[in-house]
Amino acid sequence: MSKTILSVDDSASILQMVKLTLAGGGYSVVQAMNGADGLAKARGGGIDMVLTDLNMPVMNGLAMIRELRKLPQCTGVPIIFLTTESAANMKQEAKAAGATGWITKPFRQDQLLAVVRKVLGA
């Protein structure tokens, strides 16, 4: 059974690029367009990892991560956030919210796969 990754981003092009990359690495991808949507899909269970943008409408990434960590089905699930600001304070804040790691935009496809493999295993 391939592992399922929840990809949350308000940019359709990023979503598509992430999906192509991860599908190529043998993972299944579930997509969501904002934090609230992502949270709803995570509640359904069966998610092995979350990959999320931080800046999104309706519910931003930080708020979603905090809510995700309250779900029992998300205990121990790696949450990786995408950030354009490589600023340390953003990382600190996201980690404090419960994120596992990050990836800095812009990224290459192989970098994305490497990070996913690092926290999720092959």
CB of 101 to other proteins, least distance (A): 3
What's phi and psi for 28, nearest 5 deg? -90, 150
Q: If DSSP codes are grouped into helix, strand and coil, which group holds residue 22? A: helix
- Judged by CB under 8 A, the stretch of 10-18, 21-29, 35-43, 100-108 that binds other proteins is 100-108
Binding of other proteins by 78 (CB under 8 A):
yes
- Judged by CB under 8 A, the stretch of 13-21, 35-43, 53-61, 92-100 that binds other proteins is 92-100
Contact with other proteins (CB under 8 A) among 32, 49, 56, 64: 49
What CA–CA distance (Å, rounded) separates 112 from 102?
10
Contact with other proteins (CB under 8 A) among 15, 79, 82, 116: 79
Q: Are 49 and 77 in contact (CB under 8 A)?
A: yes
Binding of other proteins by 77 (CB under 8 A):
yes
DSSP 51-113: EEESS-SSS-HHHHHHHHHHSGGGTT--EEEEES---HHHHHHHHHHT--EEEESS--HHHHH
Binding of other proteins by 119 (CB under 8 A):
yes
Binding of other proteins by 69 (CB under 8 A):
yes
Structure tokens at 83: 């950030």
Give the residues lining the site for other proteins (CB under 8 A).
49, 69, 75-79, 92, 95, 98-102, 118-121
